[in-house]
């Protein structure tokens, strides 16, 4: 009897181990084949034909179509041509050599990168929208659709965006939308449930419920998890939903397209009216990011599938607040998806990443994307550190609790509170398991910001019994302080004040904390710190970084699309870049995180000015063919470019990257010879005469030909040349900066100039 029971179990274990060994020898890949030739509205027969062609292509490598069907877990059939499959390295290498394949790359993982900000950007003044605001002129982004590749949304997101459901919410995994898979979309369009250009959309796993009032704000959502599942293994029911259990997606999408919602605050901080950049835009959510695996949340195979769906869904702006390490343009999922989106008239706004301030840390660098970095606004959530010597250090915090004023507590450095098995370095970072609670209990703990998550440090301090935490920057992070919803009273101070505080600890140990970023919708499925220990639930949260800047620009892009529906994605990008400011709100030059005068390497084109972007005067426009020329100049193979463009394309015999019609100008190698750059501007404003003024980079002669351009009609194009030559041969070396501005007295069309001197 024992054997009859144990044998099947042993066989199952052996089979499982063999299966794990087999899978361990395989990896998940994306096989990219370029574009499709079946047009904008393919039939089901067209789509089935594409899928079968994928089976045939992979089957020729694996030996049969049946094996190909087992290996392929995504078939990209609508706008992006390709598939995702589980292969071994030899199979991946073989298929990469096929003449119809552009590239084969691993299904890599990526990371996820308010009440006051729109006032800061000039769209309102103390809650009042001025007549000249782009909000008024662009009808608050009405009829524009903003899509978001992120962690999707949460039902509480309904309230925070003022979304009225078209159908009542059912059980845990039903959806709150007006669509069902297979429903005749033409009927939805005729009944006014979606804009006419949104026809042909299919939304999966949605059940019709009793009809109630519907304002058509949130028009749908999808989830994509097959690329993630390869690494995560078997997924439970919580992974087959577009609900946001993280909060990042709810926050970003509401920042871009949320409606006006009064009474928003985070633990009573920053009380006011929350709203998005395009408050009357419609929004769509695409869930591609899930709980972290080895720190990675969003996988390439899912990202490409979401791009393919969003293009079919007819969104106007795609918000992508995620990224990874830079890669070749045709081996990068976001770059590939963005190219196909731009080809269909969709502006893709990507986050530059949060890995600075080191050089070369920007992500999402494809020129067809609008890449956004982060800067500060004139709103602070201040928490002062009061020392026993009456000195106050200004920090930042959104802690929900406080300590009695004028009461001082013992202070201890985490290095002095290390556990027996911990090093001083590990303990100083307040890493999990590195603190001795007997030393910490009842005291204010001093932690250093380095590698682990900031809110995790607060969690460890709370678990160890601390009454408060001082989080000080290390030298690399300098003066970049953040307001966060720590589990205990905490104050984040800069590097300079951190050095002072640690010196103070060495002389005495008394200190007190007196509690005095971007607020937007959040999920009630998780605490504001995303930590298991955090059982608090709030409808709004404050977050910082490029992921928060990215939806601001997406909202502004939505306004520009409503105001100028005929503008290309490149025109919108140019308008935002050339009207940006390099000064702060006090009209002083912007500073970097070290309080030094910033350069374009820190601020890019500058701080966005939405009210100027709606009437930029001139734009630098680009077409798909310009982007193909860009790839030609980067020496991609003719076969790759033909597949990428989904039709034959001949690279020009003479094309220089110096003539790529981008709104900024960079010369990476200025030596003894002159460099000549050509640009073409298009008039999108009133007739007028533009004259140029130049702030030349140090050590560079700059000549503009012509220096005056007269435009008579909208759409008129003019060409000019920029000639750069070093004043002294071979000196100075390194990067220098300047700017070029065309102005008719009303418009100021600014381009950064970046030049690197090199020796012969």
454 falls in which pLDDT band (50, 70, 90)? confident
Percent of the chain at pLDDT exceeding 90: 39
Give whole-number Cα distances, 614 to 275, 382, 685, 709, 714, in Å.
Answer: 20, 34, 10, 22, 15
Residue 245 Cα to chain centre, angstroms: 18
**What DSSP character marks residue 123?**
S
Least confident of 77-91, 220-234, 396-410: 396-410
3-state helix, strand, coil in the chain (%, to 5): 30, 30, 45
Q: How confident is the model at residue 754 (pLDDT cuts 50, 70, 90)?
A: very high
Q: What is the pLDDT of residue 273?
A: 60
Residue keyed to tokens 């990215």: 550
* SS3 category, 74: strand
User: How many CB atoms sit inside 10 A of residue 588's CB?
Assistant: 9
What pLDDT does 568 receive? 95
The confidence score (pLDDT) of residue 375 equals 61
pLDDT class of 411 with cuts at 50, 70, 90 = confident
**Rounded Cα gap, residues 667 and 699, in angstroms:** 14
From the list 102, 30, 96, 56, the residue with the least C-alpha distance to 638 is: 102
Give dist(CA 405, CA 424) in Å, integer. 32
Element (H, E) at 426: helix 424-428
pLDDT value at position 276?
75
Query: Please, how many CA atoms are within 13 Å of residue 88, restricted to the half-sphere of its CB?
Result: 8
For the ranges 3-17, 191-205, 571-585, the maximum mean pLDDT occurs at 571-585
For the packed helices 546-563 and 569-578, what is the interaxial angle rounded to 10 degrees?
110
Confidence grade of residue 505 (pLDDT, cut at 50, 70, 90): confident
Give yes or no for residue 354 having a pLDDT over 80. no
Q: How far apart are CA 317 and CA 147, in angstroms?
A: 6
Q: How far apart are CA 551 and CA 251, in angstroms?
A: 9
Euclidean distance between CA atoms 713 and 710, whole angstroms: 10
pLDDT of residue 760: 55
Which pLDDT belongs to residue 731?
Answer: 63
Average pLDDT, the chain: 78
Is residue 680 over pLDDT 50?
yes
Q: How many CA atoms lie within 13 A of 707 on its CB side?
A: 5
Query: Using CB atoms within 10 A of its CB, is residue 30 exposed (0-12), middle (13-18) or buried (19+)?
Result: buried
Q: Are 176 and 167 in contact (CB under 8 A)?
A: yes
Instruction: Report how far residue 597's alpha carbon sits from residue 209's, in angstroms, rounded to the nearest whole number.
Output: 57
CATH fold of the domain at 382-516: Glucose Oxidase; domain 1 (3.50.30)
CATH code for residues 27-106: 3.30.70.80
Residue 724 and residue 675 in contact, taking contact as beta carbons nearer than 8 Å = yes
Task: Please check whether residue 692 is in contact with residue 679, taking contact to mean a CB–CB distance below 8 angstroms.
Answer: no
Selection from 56, 543, 82, 88 nearest residue 303 by Cα: 82
Asked if residue 185 lies in contact with residue 298, where contact means CB atoms within 8 angstroms, the answer is: no
502 close to 472: Cβ distance less than 8 angstroms: yes
| In contact, 751 and 724? CB cutoff 8 Å | no
What would the pLDDT profile of 631-670 be if each residue is shown by its tens digit? 998 888 888 888 877 778 888 888 888 899 999 999 988 8
Question: Which among 542, 523, 459 is positioned nearest to 114, based on CA atoms?
Answer: 542
pLDDT tens per residue, range 19-31? 333 455 899 999 9
Tokens representing 45? 């027969």
Rounded to the nearest angstrom, the gap between the alpha carbon of residue 591 and the centroid of all alpha carbons in its chain is: 23
What is the model's pLDDT at position 678?
95
Residues 113 and 321: their CA atoms lie apart, in Å, by: 6
Question: Which CATH code for domain 108-159+209-358+527-579?
Answer: 3.40.50.200
| The one catalytic residue among 547, 554, 574, 645 | 547
Q: Does domain 617-622+661-757 match CATH 2.60.40.2310?
A: yes
Length in residues, the chain: 760
Query: How do residues 113-162 score in pLDDT, each as one tens digit?
Result: 534 567 767 787 777 888 888 988 999 888 899 999 988 876 544 434 44
- Asked if 630 contacts 660 with a C-beta cutoff of 8 angstroms, the reply is yes
Pick the catalytic residue from 150, 313, 621, 744: 150
Question: In angstroms, rounded to a whole number, what is the distance separating the alpha carbons of residues 581 and 753?
Answer: 14
Q: Can you tell me whether residue 416 is helix, strand or coil?
A: helix
* 196 and 282 Cβ atoms separated by less than 8 Å: no
pLDDT at 574: 96
Return the minimum-mean-pLDDT range out of 172-181, 507-516, 627-636.
172-181
- pLDDT, one tens digit per residue, over 694-751 is 999 998 999 999 999 999 999 999 999 999 998 876 566 788 999 999 999 999 999 9
Q: What angle do CA 94, 97, 101 make, to 5 degrees?
A: 110
Listed ranges 115-119, 394-398, 401-405; the one with the highest mean pLDDT: 394-398
d(CA 726, CA 671) in angstroms, rounded, equals 7
Catalytic site residue 248?
A: yes
CATH 3.30.70.80 domain locations along the chain: 27-106
Report yes or no: 496 and 540 within 8 Å, Cβ to Cβ.
Answer: no
* pLDDT score at 509: 56
Residue 286: burial class (beta carbons within 10 Å; 0-12, 13-18, 19+):
buried
The per-residue pLDDT for 4 is 32
CATH 3.40.50.200 positions along the chain are 108-159+209-358+527-579
* Catalytic site residue from 79, 248, 340, 757: 248
* Segments of the chain assigned to CATH 3.50.30.30: 382-516
Please confirm, yes or no, whether 547 is among the known catalytic residues: yes
Alpha-carbon distance of 72 to 440, in angstroms, equals: 53
**Secondary structure class of 187 (helix, strand, coil):** helix
Running DSSP on this structure, what letter comes out for residue 680?
E
150 is catalytic: yes
Residue 467 bridge partners (DSSP)? none
Residue 549: closest CA among 604, 494, 594? 604
pLDDT at 398: 61
Backbone dihedral region for residue 247 (phi beyond 0: left; psi -120 to 50: alpha; all else: beta): left
Taking the CB of residue 698, how many other CB atoms lie within 10 A of it?
A: 13
**DSSP symbols for 197-236:** GGTT---SS-----B------EEEEEE--HHHHHHH-S--
Taking alpha carbons only, the member of 637, 622, 732, 748 closest to residue 685 is: 748
Q: Read off the pLDDT of residues 290-345 as tens digits, 9 standing for 90 and up.
A: 988 888 889 999 999 999 999 998 899 999 988 777 788 889 999 999 999 999 99
Q: How far is CA 722 from the centre of its chain?
A: 33
Mean pLDDT on 471-484: 76
101, 110, 295, 90 alpha-carbon torsion, rounded to 10°: 10
CA–CA dist 34, 82 (Å, integer): 7
- Find, among 118, 96, 117, 114, the residue nearest to 106 by Cα: 96
Q: What is the pLDDT of residue 175?
A: 30
Nearest 5 degrees, angle CA 155-CA 157-CA 163?
95
% of the chain at pLDDT higher than 70:
72
Residues of the chain with CATH 2.60.40.2310: 617-622+661-757
End-to-end CA distance of the chain: 86
Contact 541, 251 (CB under 8 A): yes
Whether 174 and 207 have beta carbons less than 8 Å apart is answered as yes
Helix (H, G, I), strand (E, B) or coil at 457: helix
**Which comes out higher in pLDDT, residue 593 or 690?**
690
Nearest 5°: the CA angle 484, 498, 455 is 25
Q: What is the mean pLDDT of residues 523-539?
A: 55
User: Quick count: other Cβ atoms within 10 Å of Cβ 258?
Assistant: 30
Neighbours of 459 (CB within 10 A): 21
pLDDT level of residue 383 (50, 70, 90 thresholds): low
Specify the range with the lowest mean pLDDT, choosing from 256-270, 355-369, 497-511. 256-270
pLDDT class for 37, splitting at 50, 70, 90? confident
Q: pLDDT at position 378, please?
A: 42
Question: In this predicted structure, what is the pLDDT of residue 254?
Answer: 81
């Amino acid at each position: 009897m024992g054997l009859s029971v144990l044998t099947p179990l042993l066989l199952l274990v052996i089979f499982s181990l063999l299966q794990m060994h087999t899978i361990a020898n395989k990896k998940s890949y994306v096989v990219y084949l370029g574009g499709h030739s079946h047009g904008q509205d393919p039939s089901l027969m067209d789509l089935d034909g594409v899928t079968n062609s994928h089976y045939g292509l992979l089957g020729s490598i694996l030996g049969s179509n049946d094996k190909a069907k087992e290996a392929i877990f995504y078939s990209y059939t609508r706008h992006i041509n390709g598939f995702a499959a589980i292969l071994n390295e030899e199979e991946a290498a073989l298929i990469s050599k096929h003449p119809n394949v552009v590239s084969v790359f691993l299904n890599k993982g990526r990371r996820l990168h308010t009440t006051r900000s729109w006032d800061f950007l000039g769209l309102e003044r103390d809650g009042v929208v001025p007549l000249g605001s782009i909000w008024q002129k662009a009808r608050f982004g009405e009829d524009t659709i903003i899509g978001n590749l992120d962690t999707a949304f949460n039902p509480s997101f309904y309230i925070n965006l003022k979304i009225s459901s078209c159908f009542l919410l059912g059980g845990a995994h039903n959806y709150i939308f007006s669509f069902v898979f297979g429903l005749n979309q033409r009927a939805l369009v005729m009944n006014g449930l979606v804009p006419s250009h949104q026809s042909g959309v299919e939304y999966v796993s949605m059940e019709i419920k009793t009809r109630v009032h519907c304002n058509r704000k949130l028009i749908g959502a999808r989830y994509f998890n097959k690329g993630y599942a390869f690494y995560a293994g078997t997924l439970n029911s919580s992974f087959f939903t577009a609900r946001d259990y993280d909060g990042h997606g709810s926050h970003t999408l509401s920042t871009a397209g949320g409606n006006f919602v009064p009474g928003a605050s985070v633990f009573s901080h920053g009380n006011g009216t929350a709203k998005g950049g395009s408050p009357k835009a419609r929004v769509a959510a695409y869930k591609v990011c899930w709980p972290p695996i080895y720190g990675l949340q969003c996988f390439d195979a899912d990202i490409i599938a979401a791009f393919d769906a969003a293009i079919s869904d007819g969104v106007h702006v795609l918000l992508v607040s995620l990224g990874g390490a830079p890669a070749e343009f045709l081996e990068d999922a976001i770059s590939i998806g963005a190219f196909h989106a731009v080809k269909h008239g969709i502006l893709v706004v990507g986050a530059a990443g949060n890995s600075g301030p080191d050089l070369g840390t920007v992500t999402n660098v494809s020129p067809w994307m609008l890449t956004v970095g982060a800067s500060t606004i004139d709103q602070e959530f201040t928490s002062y550190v009061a020392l026993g010597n009456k000195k106050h250090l200004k920090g930042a915090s959104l802690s929900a609790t406080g300590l009695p004023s004028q009461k001082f507590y013992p202070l201890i450095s985490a290095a002095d509170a290390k556990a027996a098995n911990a090093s001083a370095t590990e303990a100083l970072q307040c890493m999990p398991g590195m603190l001795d609670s007997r030393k910490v209990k009842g005291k204010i703990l001093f932690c250093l910001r380095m590698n682990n998550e900031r809110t995790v440090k607060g969690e460890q301090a709370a678990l160890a019994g601390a009454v408060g935490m001082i989080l000080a920057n290390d030298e690399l992070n300098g003066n970049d302080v953040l307001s966060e919803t720590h589990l205990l009273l905490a104050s984040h101070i800069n590097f300079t004040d951190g050095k002072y505080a640690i010196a103070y600890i060495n002389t005495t140990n008394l200190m007190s904390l007196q509690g005095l970023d971007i607020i937007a919708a959040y999920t009630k499925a998780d605490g504001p710190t995303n930590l298991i220990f955090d059982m608090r639930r709030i409808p709004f949260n404050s977050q910082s970084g490029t992921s928060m800047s990215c939806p601001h620009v997406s909202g502004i892009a939505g306004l520009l699309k409503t105001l100028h529906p005929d503008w290309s994605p490149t025109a919108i990008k140019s308008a935002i870049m050339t009207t940006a400011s390099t000064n702060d709100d006090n009209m002083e030059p912007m500073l970097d995180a070290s309080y030094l005068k910033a350069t374009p390497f820190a601020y890019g084109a500058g701080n966005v000015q939405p009210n100027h972007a709606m009437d930029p005067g001139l734009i630098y426009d680009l077409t798909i063919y310009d982007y193909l020329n860009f790839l030609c100049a980067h020496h991609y193979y003719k076969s790759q470019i033909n597949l990428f463009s989904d039709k034959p394309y001949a690279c020009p015999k003479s094309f220089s990257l110096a003539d790529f019609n981008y709104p900024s100008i960079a010369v990476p190698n200025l030596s003894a010879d002159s460099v000549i750059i050509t640009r073409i501007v298009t008039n999108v404003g009133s007739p007028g005469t533009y004259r140029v003024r130049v702030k030349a980079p140090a050590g560079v002669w700059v000549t503009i030909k012509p220096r005056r351009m007269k435009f008579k009609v909208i759409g008129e194009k003019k060409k000019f040349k920029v000639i750069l030559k070093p004043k002294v041969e071979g000196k100075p070396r390194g990067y220098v900066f300047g700017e070029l501005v065309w102005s008719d007295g009303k418009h100021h069309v600014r381009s950064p100039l970046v030049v690197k001197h090199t020796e012969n």
